């Protein structure tokens, strides 16, 4: 075991994790940067594996290369391919690679774990061939290929445009785009998008490309079922306002990409028992943070989209704000300097937030989507829990999420509730007539990611095993 105690440990090397790390590295601070991906950049600047020789398919790759270069030049201890599975009370961080387990200690921890995808279940969403929208962006960006030959893109939010644009750019065929938002919702938030002109132009370019290629767009519609038919999927689409009675449109595809916005990853803040609050437009449950993004656990920071989904650019500023607070705490920055720097950064963050919040409003799923979850639709994919199972346990007295967990094992599977948290809350809220925020959130439990047993056990000889004397009878 390594006895070195790092000044700061940062988990996640996406935009905000890197921003914090680079800001801290300007002062002589021991920084540990851990990430479970092979290369820096998180999901937004997701790079191809080094074996791939060309990165030209995505413009963002230049930013990723710059960041990678900066990390290499700095004094940051960077650990790619390391997955963290636990953080304990005294800031002991447990991680593992494919072959080894690690223990690190740090005085301060910054969590920048980003988001996971939210999907409102529908009949057949567990079928092979139905994949996440974020998953599709990863395939398009880092694998530089398409997940299928004939795809349908469904859900809500800006990822619809991203996936459609890159698919067209790679020469893919899109059968249809199914948007749960009406055109009116887009227009309503249109004016706020002018707050960030470069991003607005980028988005406009995407929309133009989609319109030029004449992709059929179904607004205010949702996928209600996807059934396997040999190698293809039979997809049924219905109008959102009248899911029960309206006539369905039938389409066929080999891959259905679906996603309803992003949820902040609160695995570690829940594990540390930090206080959380529910904010619909910031993605759901987020840790309560002060203005420097420090959670209710002292010296435990949560930044980036993990503390509220706003996008990559605000994430940079959040990272820098957390970093200056830590530098100040280590007496390397005076009160005055902290105030000055905070003023500049928060002003920038406030301006960038306008764009992020408008996008969040488009990304949050409409409450009417609840109707697409039929009684026999699987809600928790890991444990095969259907809506009926949840309703039964609610009728038997499970009135919050944690009670439901013990009743049904919902959210106890290998994914630890990352996939089904929102859907389960939605179903339980409807059948108990409560608001989602009154149902609470699942208590964090380690291991956050499954750790292979051979890794946890490590190498040891028989002599090293502590022998316990047998209990006298």
Partner 1 sequence: MLKYNQRNKFINMSSTTLNRIVEFYINEKKYFAREGTSVALALYNNNYKKIRKSPKLKTDRGLFCMMGSCQECIVNIDGVKKLSCISKIKKNTKIFI
CB of 49 to partner 1, least distance (A): 4
Which residue lies nearer to partner 1 by CB, 126 or 334?
126
How many other CB atoms sit within 10 Å of the CB of residue 246?
14
Query: How do beta strands 300-302 and 378-380 pair?
Result: unpaired
Residues 402-431 that bind partner 1 (CB under 8 A): 413-415, 418-419
Which residue lies nearer to partner 1 by CB, 139 or 240?
139
User: Alpha carbon 39 to chain centroid distance?
Assistant: 17
8 Å CB contact between 90 and 18: no
Dist CA 382 CA 421 (whole Å)? 12
307 binds partner 1 (CB under 8 A): no
227 binds partner 1 (CB under 8 A): no
Site string for partner 1, 102-131 (x = CB under 8 A): --------------xx--------xxxxxx
Dist CA 45 CA 146 (whole Å)? 18
Residues 271-300 that bind partner 1 (CB under 8 A): none
Which residue lies nearer to partner 1 by CB, 15 or 324?
15
Helix axes 421-432, 401-408, angle to 10 degrees: 100
Residues 41-60 that bind partner 1 (CB under 8 A): 43, 48-54, 56-57
170 binds partner 1 (CB under 8 A): yes
Instruction: Give the interface size with partner 1 as a residue count (CB under 8 A).
Output: 52
CB of 444 to partner 1, least distance (A): 15
Q: Concatenated DSSP letters for 357-395?
A: HHHHHHHSPPGGGGGG--TTSEEETTTTEEHHHHHHHHH
User: In terms of Cα–Cα distance, which of 228, 237, 232 is closest to 252?
Assistant: 232
335 binds partner 1 (CB under 8 A): no
383 binds partner 1 (CB under 8 A): yes
Any residues with CB less than 8 A from the CB of 85 and at least 6 apart, and which? 94, 95, 96, 446, 447, 448, 449, 450, 451
Which residue lies nearer to partner 1 by CB, 25 or 115?
115
Binding site for partner 1 (CB under 8 A): 36-37, 43, 48-54, 56-57, 83, 98, 116-117, 126-132, 134-136, 138-139, 142-145, 147, 168-171, 228, 231, 378, 381-384, 413-415, 418-419, 449-450, 452
């Amino acid at each position: 075991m390594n006895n070195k105690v790092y000044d700061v440990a940062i988990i996640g090397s996406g935009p905000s994790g890197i921003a914090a790390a680079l800001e801290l590295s300007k002062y002589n601070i021991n920084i540990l940067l851990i990430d479970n991906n092979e290369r820096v950049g998180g999901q937004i600047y997701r790079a191809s594996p080094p074996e791939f020789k060309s990165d030209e398919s995505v413009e963002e790759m230049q930013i990723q290369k710059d960041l990678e270069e900066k990390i290499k030049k700095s004094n940051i201890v960077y650990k790619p391919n390391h997955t963290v599975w636990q953080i304990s009370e005294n800031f002991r961080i447990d991680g593992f690679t494919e072959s080894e387990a690690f223990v690190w200690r740090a005085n301060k921890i910054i969590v920048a774990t980003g988001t996971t995808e939210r999907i409102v279940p529908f009949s057949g969403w567990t079928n092979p061939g139905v994949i996440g929208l974020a998953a599709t962006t990863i395939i398009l960006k880092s694998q530089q290929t398409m997940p299928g030959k004939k795809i349908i893109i469904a859900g809500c939010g800006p990822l619809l445009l991203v996936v459609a644009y890159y698919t067209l750019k790679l020469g893919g065929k899109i059968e249809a785009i199914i948007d749960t938002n009406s055109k009116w919702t887009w227009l309503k938030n249109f004016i706020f998008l002018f707050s960030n002109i470069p991003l607005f132009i980028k988005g406009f370019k995407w929309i133009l490309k989609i319109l030029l290629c004449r992709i059929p767009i179904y607004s205010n519609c949702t996928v209600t079922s996807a059934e396997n038919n040999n190698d293809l999927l039979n997809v049924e689409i219905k109008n959102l306002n009248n899911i029960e009675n309206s006539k369905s449109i039938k389409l066929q595809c080999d891959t259905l990409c679906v996603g309803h916005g992003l949820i902040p990853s609160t695995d570690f803040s829940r594990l540390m028992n930090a206080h959380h609050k529910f904010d619909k437009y910031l993605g759901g449950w987020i840790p309560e943070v002060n203005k420097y993004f420090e959670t209710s656990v002292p010296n435990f920071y949560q930044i980036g989209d993990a503390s509220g989904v706003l996008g990559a650019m605000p994430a940079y500023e959040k990272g820098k704000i957390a970093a200056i607070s830590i530098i100040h705490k280590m007496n390397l920055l005076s009160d005055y300097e902290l105030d000055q720097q905070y003023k500049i950064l928060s002003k920038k963050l406030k301006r960038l937030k306008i764009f992020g919040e408008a996008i969040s409003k488009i990304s949050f799923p409409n409450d009417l989507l609840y109707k697409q979850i039929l009684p026999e639709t699987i809600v928790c994919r890991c444990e095969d829990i259907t809506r009926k199972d949840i309703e039964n346990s609610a009728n038997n007295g499970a009135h919050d999420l944690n009670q439901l967990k013990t009743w049904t094992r919902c959210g106890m599977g290998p994914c630890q509730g990352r996939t089904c948290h929102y859907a389960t809350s939605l179903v339980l809220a409807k059948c108990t007539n409560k608001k989602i925020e009154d149902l609470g959130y699942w208590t964090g439990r380690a291991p956050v990611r499954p750790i292979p047993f051979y890794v946890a056990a490590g190498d040891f000889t028989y002599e090293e095993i502590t022998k316990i004397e047998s209990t006298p009878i």
